[in-house]
Amino acid sequence: MQKCILITVLSLSALMLTGCTTTYTMTTRTGEVIETQGKPEVDATTGMTKYADAYGYHRVIKTSEIVQTAEGASKLEW
């Protein structure tokens, strides 16, 4: 019985952790603030930065247009 409860608790914990994402905030040269899901990926060969916006859509922006990238809080995505 205890083994079954332990497996259930561990399974639920793993499922809850998969829903966690860390948000990042990018500020552009024009002053626009972009909130991302997860860390933006910089591609040095193309000079572009890939990210997923607040709605989950994948976007690309020139790395030279980004002034600052700051890590935000972790939040649950249900």
Neighbouring-strand partners of residue 69: 26
- The per-residue pLDDT for range 15-48, each reduced to its tens digit, is 555 556 788 999 999 999 999 998 999 999 999 9
Q: pLDDT-based confidence at 7, cuts 50/70/90?
A: confident
Q: Where are the domains of the chain?
A: 2-76
- The per-residue pLDDT for range 40-72, each reduced to its tens digit, is 999 999 999 999 998 889 999 999 999 999 988
Query: What kind of architecture, by CATH, is found in domain 2-76?
Result: Roll (2.30)
| Global pTM value | 0.66
